[in-house]
Amino acid sequence: MATAKEDIAGDWFAALIPESVVILIINAITITAFARTRQLRKRGTYLIINLTVADLLVGAVTGPLLVYLSYKDKENNGFTWPGIIIWTFEFTFVIASQVNLFLISLERLHATLFPFRHCLISECVYFKIIVGSWLINFLLGSLMAGLYLKESNGGPYVWASFNVFTLFVIAISYIVISVKVQRSPPSQHRGSTAKETKLSVTLLVVTGVSVLTILPSAIYNSMPVDLRNELSSASRLLEIHYALTVIYFASSMVNPLIYAIRMHEFRRALRNLVSKSREPTRDHPLKPRARAVP
């Protein structure tokens, strides 16, 4: 017979599982569009592509793992290798998505404040940043996994501190970008500089929507554990946890939609992708060709 906890989890998984599938599909299409369009593969979009990969892994790995771990026996067997690996992957890709938003805000800040110096950054620097970010993601994921397996109350506070720090840096970066763009004379926003400004605005919208989905979880995890227990019962706390998780995962789903609205090259790549998938073959392999009449 199902327990109340399993009933609550099942109700929210009815929303989480389809959300994970949509996240996987929409980000897979986005990656395909980037991969098949050379104009989209440039320095300014490397971090966007990396963010899309992280979002895809949220739908492909984090969502299914959350369902598996929720129905799995919750008995804690200590720091076992299977437990550490599973929980590390559970946290890593969610962390990676937020770290990429953090890196994108800093990259846009550098492009706005130092446009000429930014143009001199080589592709190798971007690749090093991406590789370094994934190392940090796995380290933070391992830390969160260890705190969970230890059943430490410090886990939510570490997660909240990570959220607050990244969101604070993101907010400050885009405030500075907005002030800089408004104070710059119009003559500076022509050609490549105008494209950088438009890209910055697009990524500002992406980050803003993502922040709105991350902020509820950050606020909730910042609350003292005792206060949360006093305000709600155990079943209510579980419902809040799953609701915030569904909202948090939504940030991995909306980003490609914003790209389609704001980026002309991305819209054209999607149209080409759809038209090629619908294009019929000229000659059926089993149908013989008609011979020309002499």
Q: Based on the number of CB atoms within 10 Å of its own CB, is 217 exposed (0-12), middle (13-18) or buried (19 or more)?
A: buried
Q: What is the pLDDT of residue 139?
A: 94
Name the one residue in this structure whose structure tokens are 């419902």: 239
Domains and CATH numbers, the chain: 4-269 (1.20.1070.10)
Stretches where the chain sits below pLDDT 70 are 1-11, 72-79, 151-153, 185-196, 225, 227-235, 276-294
Say how far apart CA 270 and CA 79 lie, in whole Å: 46
Q: What is the pLDDT of residue 265?
A: 75
Q: What is the pLDDT of residue 192?
A: 57
Dihedral of CA 113/114/119/122: which sign? negative
